[in-house]
Amino acid sequence: MGDFDPDACLPILQRALAGWTSTKPYARISTAVAGLSGSQHNINTPDKANATYTSGLLFPIRDDDPDYPALLMGNYILGAGSLSSRLGTRVRQQEGLSYGISSSLSVSSFDKRAGLTITAICNPQNIGRVEKAVREEIERLLKDGVTTEELDKAKQGYLQSQKVTRSSDTALAGTLSNFRHLDRTMFYQAELEQKIDALTSGQ
């Protein structure tokens, strides 16, 4: 991947790895979601000028689930789309409560394990208002869903970001390496993006 001479590089790699063996057999550790209960914690850091709000949710879904494309776009609209997201618009731009806020989604390719995380940095006196705003935006998303216009903008932004990512040799090499581990090809990514492009607001 990228600009290199395979005739020069491969012998070096072969010499570097010659005779290498693992002392232990490989075994993947399963991380399925089970037996978890919610809780809330406050950690006081009086030597810090800022406060950090973090919330998370684990739930059983894998990245080959039919709902995965809609979940990706739901998270993008909620908080992954930078300042154009609902959380960015509400918490940072409209109410000026946070220096930065975002949501992130992590979904396993092996186990039914997904995590949604929301993080914001704010003035300590605003932490309660940040928590309230985040909760209200999640409730609004679950109750009212998304508009067609909102989804179309999100799809355009997400799909364009994927093209930009693939323009980086380093990122593309990482993707190919990960897909090799998963026994996938770039057809998986192509099909995923086709499903995202075809999503409706109802989904």
At 92, which helix (H) or strand (E)? Answer: none
How do residues 8-56 score in pLDDT, each as one tens digit? 999 999 999 999 888 899 899 998 888 788 899 999 998 888 999 999 9
Which residue pairs from 65-71 have beta carbons closer than 8 angstroms and sit at least 24 positions apart in sequence? 68/107, 68/192, 69/192, 69/195, 69/196, 69/199, 70/199, 70/203, 71/105, 71/107, 71/114
Identify whether 38 is part of a domain. no
* pLDDT higher than threshold 80 for residue 83: no
Q: Is 61 helix (H, G, I), strand (E, B) or coil?
A: coil
Question: Cβ contacts of residue 70 below 8 Å, gap of 6+?
Answer: 199, 203
pLDDT at 53: 96
Identify whether 96 is part of a domain. yes
Identify whether 80 is part of a domain. yes
C-alpha–C-alpha distance, residues 37 and 57, integer Å: 10
Beta-bridged to residue 114, according to DSSP, are 59, 107
At 198, which helix (H) or strand (E)? Answer: none
Q: Can you give the residue range of the structural domain that contains 174?
A: 47-197
Identify whether 18 is part of a domain. no
Q: Is 81 helix (H, G, I), strand (E, B) or coil?
A: coil
Rg (CA), the chain: 21
Identify whether 10 is part of a domain. no
CA distances from 186 to 138, 158, 179, 196 (A): 33, 17, 8, 15
* pLDDT higher than threshold 80 for residue 186: yes
What's the number of domains the chain is made of?
1
How do residues 147-177 score in pLDDT, each as one tens digit? 999 999 999 999 999 999 999 999 999 999 9
How do residues 86-111 score in pLDDT, each as one tens digit? 999 999 999 999 989 999 999 999 99
For the domain that residue 154 is a member of, what is the CATH number? 3.30.830.10
pLDDT at 37: 86
